[in-house]
Amino acid sequence: MTTTEELLTTLKRILPQDQVSVNQTILEQHSRDESYHTPSLPDIVVFPKTTEEVSKIMKLASQFKVPVIPFGRGTSLEGHVIPYNKGITIDFSLMNKVLEIREHDFLVRVQPGVTRTQLNKELKRYGLFFSVDPGADATLGGMAATNASGTTSVKYGVMRDQVRDLEVVLADGTVIHTGNMAAKSSSGLHLNGLFVGSEGTLGCFTELTLRVYGIPEYILAARASFPTVHDAVSAVVGILSAGIPIARVELVDESSMKQVNLFSDTDYQEKPTLFLEFHGNEAGLKQDVEFMKEIVADCQCEGIVFETDQAALNRLWEARHNLAYAYIHGYPGKKMMITDVCLPISELAGAIEHARKELNKHGLTGGIVGHVGDGNFHTILMIDMNNLEEISKADEFNESIVLYALERGGTCTGEHGVGVGKQKYQEKEHGKALQVMEKIKLALDPENLLNPNKIMKL
């Protein structure tokens, strides 16, 4: 009997049969994510329902010395969940319950397989919402593991700012809690900060306690068009320096506005555009909006359209959220490669111009979009993965964008994470600190079984 057969038999003893699979289709579904990275099959996929089951799986994996890959919805973008070392993929989709809504504490306790839209549906009747909104309908476990963010982070922060506590199963099956329900704590080392963003390499999250917010009394959105991307970015810097409490500010360049109109059946102006949103009360926002209008006018704004009607608001943000899918749809047969640098705001305009120049220089197809309120932007490239020359141009382009950001105090990834795709930049970005990260990884996972060779190659 091979190790995998022995492992399979033992897994079927500790888990109900229907929660253990070697079905080819299931293996294939867990062999890739939404990235361009080459897929690879796991040996076995398991679907635990409880923390105890996850702990038993980890103990078994440690006994058999087989790798374990935690899996949310597989929407990651740098090969995070691809099991290149094979082993067991743990799919958390059956741990999808909202366990507790503490409306007066603005806290929720959820299982990791709950998705962000599922949570917001449940929170709505309490007048609450969960703020972090990546473009994909990801799980909260996956979002915590990648320290995800989205369009609202300029006001509400990223995933790390929302996590109060994580229940984590470690490589040896031990169960710990990394935090508590208090709004702040100076007790011990900040494990929340360490585990959030660890990409499944330090432990499996089996429960999350997250911060939620009251749904604003008044929401106003706007679409502002500009002659150039530079003008649009100057307007963003102007709005932020004026201290206007903007809730969302997203840049979409002209070629991406074309994709939006094609995919979302909208007829927006195909110019560099800012998607803006304000949260507050009507009276208070009136002044902010007047001030914002002056600032964008000073930046050559060519037109601004306001939306307050809920349906129009939803259509606007759906169009923005679906942008990556618009590109996938617009370029059949091509694969999506997305850059994700984040820089200090003062460096943003220069970085975006550099990206546009490099795109043209390499003759690559793609658009520039981003959460510019945070200094984070993406270049969405559509690549023919059978065309080696195009792939190497895309890699060169990616490298030039990242080096530009690192030389100006930025990072190679603002929100998507490292996975396998951004490993090659870790040494340059972190220097000796990378060795500290490797020591922490091996202290918690001495056999390197948890999502091996992601973030760092050991």
Ligand X SMILES: Cc1cc2nc3c(=O)[nH]c(=O)nc-3n(C[C@H](O)[C@H](O)[C@H](O)COP(=O)(O)OP(=O)(O)OC[C@H]3O[C@@H](n4cnc5c(N)ncnc54)[C@H](O)[C@@H]3O)c2cc1C
By the criterion CB under 6 A, which residues form the site for ligand X?
33-34, 69-77, 80-81, 92, 112, 134-136, 138-139, 141-143, 145-146, 148-150, 199-200, 204-205, 324-325, 415-416, 451
Tokens of 77: 């973008």
Pairwise CA distance, residues 456 & 422, whole Å: 9
Residue closer to ligand X (CB basis): 285 or 319: 319
Q: Are 365 and 331 in contact (CB under 8 A)?
A: yes
Residue 154 CB, nearest distance to ligand X (Å)?
Answer: 13
Element (H, E) at 115: none
Question: Which letter, b or e, does each residue of 193-214 get, where b requires 16 or more Cβ atoms within 10 Å of its Cβ?
Answer: ebbbbbbbbbbbbbbbbbbbbe
DSSP 180-221: -SSS---SSS-HHHHHTT-TTSS-EEEEEEEE-EEPPSEEEE
Residue 153 CB, nearest distance to ligand X (Å)?
Answer: 9
Residue 138 CB, nearest distance to ligand X (Å)?
Answer: 3
**SS percent in the chain: helix, strand, coil, step 5:** 40, 20, 40
Which residue matches tokens 């948890």?
450
Residue closer to ligand X (CB basis): 61 or 204: 204
Residue closer to ligand X (CB basis): 76 or 256: 76
Residue closer to ligand X (CB basis): 231 or 320: 320
- Comparing every residue's Cβ against ligand X, the nearest one is 142
Residue 166 CB, nearest distance to ligand X (Å)?
Answer: 8
Q: Is the dihedral of CA 291, 150, 209, 436 positive or negative?
A: negative
Residue 340 CB, nearest distance to ligand X (Å)?
Answer: 8
CA distances from 320 to 120, 169, 252, 358, 412 (A): 19, 36, 8, 24, 23
Residue closer to ligand X (CB basis): 145 or 295: 145
Residue closer to ligand X (CB basis): 108 or 295: 108
Residue 159 CB, nearest distance to ligand X (Å)?
Answer: 8
